[in-house]
Chain A
Amino acid sequence: MRLAPGWGSTDRSLLVLTSLASGPKHGYALIKDVEAFAGVRLGPGTLYGCLSKLEAAGLVEALPADERRHPYRVTAVGIETLRAELAEVARVAEIGLGRISGAAAS
């Protein structure tokens, strides 16, 4: 399964899935984690835009709320999707880096 193109938030969805891969997180923890590992600051509206699409696609699921905090976790399908997406990103990165090296050598 691949993240649906045209969501307008595919990159952000990838970041959210990557963050959730290390364990369930609520909204604020997600924002801080994504900021820490990717340097991208997601706003609450943007985050919930991603979460709603990921949940609709069955890639994440909500856990019972802890007072005002609402944690989410990635599903098995979400993990597989993330794996496929990251492999694709790595493949493209490898090609890009290879071409840069080739251009530098010639």
Chain B
Amino acid sequence: MSGRLHRLALALYPRAWRRRYGQELEDLCDECAERGEAGRFRLGAGVLVAALRERSQALTSSRPRRVLTAAVAVLALLAAVIVPTRGLGTFGGGAARKPLSLPARARATYRGPSASSATFSVICSVTAIGATFYRVVIPAGSVPAAVGSQAVVRQGAAGVVSPVIIALSNSPKGRFGGQLACSPKPSG
């Protein structure tokens, strides 16, 4: 098995799983590719999906883990609310820093985080929490597990990543600098 996708897919498996089955899986993918069963990209994509499934099942395999996952989702929600609306400087005493000196053109155009981006971020996180609690509250096996576990991965990732993306996009300089939150909305 070769290629970046395959390596990425294998790296996504839990370490213990990878140690035990990684080589066997790689050998099987090689055999399938050599016999023309599927292209290497398709095989890699299949392994990638299976790895995500394995990870999500590991996350929700026991009640303590499900609770931990839910806690992470709650933190993601807090981040989703705080980062887009207050900025990264909210954390770590950033509010005491001096306002960012923006170029004149940026001052003229920058209006701070938009309400729609913050709303989108909150929706993503609420969905992530909903998906997580769905796995916590509803007994495993009572619904197709693939549906729940994939939802946790997909929406959980959205909930965690979206505040970061939104913060990046809201940054007046298009990057983090610890001063994002301290940049007051230009009054004119």
B-contacting residues of A (Cβ < 8 Å)? Answer: 4-10, 27-28, 31, 43-49, 51-52, 65, 68-70
Contacts and interface: CB of A to CB of B under 8 A. Distances in A.
Contacts of B142: 5
Contact of A46 (B27, B38, B46, B57): B46
A7 B21 contact: no
A47 B28 contact: yes
B47 A45 contact: yes
Contacts of B48: 45
B57 A44 contact: no
B21 to A, nearest CB: 5
Interface residues of B, number: 33
Contacts of A52: 17, 20-21
A31 B24 CA distance: 14
A55 B57 CA distance: 16
Interface in B27-77: 27-32, 35, 37-38, 43, 46-51, 53-54, 57
A48 B24 contact: yes
Nearest to A28: B31
Contacts of A69: 27, 31
Contact of A7 (B20, B37, B51, B145): B145
B148 to A, nearest CB: 8
B53 A44 contact: no
